[in-house]
Amino acid sequence: MSLRIGTRGSALALAQTNRVVGMLADRGIEAELVTIATEGDTATGVPLHAIGGQGVFVRALDDAILRGEIDAAVHSMKDIPAARPAGLTCCAVLERDSPADFLAHECPLDAVSVIGSSSTRRRAQLLRDAPALEVKQLRGNVDTRIRKLREGQYDAIVLAEAGLERLGLTLPGEALPTDRFVPSPNQGTIAVVCRDDPAVAGAFAAFDHAPTRLDVEIERAVMEEVGGGCFTPQGIYCRDGNLIAEVLALDGSRWERIERRVATVGEAREWGRALRVQAAGLIREAYAALGIKP
């Protein structure tokens, strides 16, 4: 069997895809890597929420699978939106890497006053922790973000620790605790999406890590019930059934939060609905402030 595996062209996306290609090779399966440009990679001068959120990184690859140009695609699972096209399946969820955010800074921590991040969640959580901070927009791939840090455009930047580890990068700074800086749903997880064909899906079945899949499915169930996508600052993290989920005001001044032990996706949906009711006002505020129709 020979498979065509689609990927974005960023260094991180290529590193993740090459990991999967290597795992296939270990099982005697040949794979060709196909690089596909996405709107999220080319439109770097605007905030993510203005071009459709994290889903812009996935849409072009979904379309390529459905057109038959590639057999599967490798994604950072946190980029995959809740609504998925018919004809696709998530055939493998790899064992999770670090879910944490990483605060990279070259000056002393107490001298940090300007932080770069394109995420509404990270901005809200940083401001909740330290309201005097200035959080400025930061887009681009990991190399671009690090270059801007080193040029002094920011005192610090926030990146996913898993991305740094996958790229083999060591930066000065520290991982942020996941109980205070609750990660995005599925952060630190690599997923493989393919066309809904048992022959193709079966090639990846051995890579599926059941405990990680359950945790991320719980996170996605809460995310789907809460709604708001990347437009509303929200962190949702589950480890071994221990769930933390929160929705924040854009400026981090207020938040609603639940911490529960969750055993099933059904229970997760119940708690997601409860959080949506608690946070309804914050969600409406975020949509209004960003000029987005619910």
Q: How far is CA 279 from CA 19, 119, 244, 271, in A?
A: 39, 19, 14, 12
Catalytic hit among 41, 62, 63, 79: 79
- Tell me, rounded to whole angstroms, the distance of Cα 72 from its chain centroid: 19
Gyration radius of the chain's alpha carbons: 19
The CA-CA-CA angle for residues 278, 281, 282, to 5°, reads 90
Q: How far is CA 217 from CA 111, 142, 257, in A?
A: 39, 27, 19
- Judge whether 79 counts as a catalytic residue: yes
Tell me which long-range contacts 169-175 makes (C-beta under 8 A, separation of at least 24).
Answer: 169/142, 171/102, 171/104, 171/146, 172/104, 172/105, 172/106, 173/102, 173/103, 173/104, 173/105, 174/102, 174/103, 174/109, 175/98, 175/100, 175/101, 175/102, 175/103
Q: How far is CA 242 from CA 98, 179, 247, in A?
A: 16, 11, 17
Tokens of residue 135, six digits: 């959080």
- Is residue 110 classed exposed, middle or buried when 0-12, 13-18 and 19+ CB atoms within 10 A define those classes? exposed
The three-class DSSP label of residue 236 is strand
- Which residues are catalytically annotated? 79
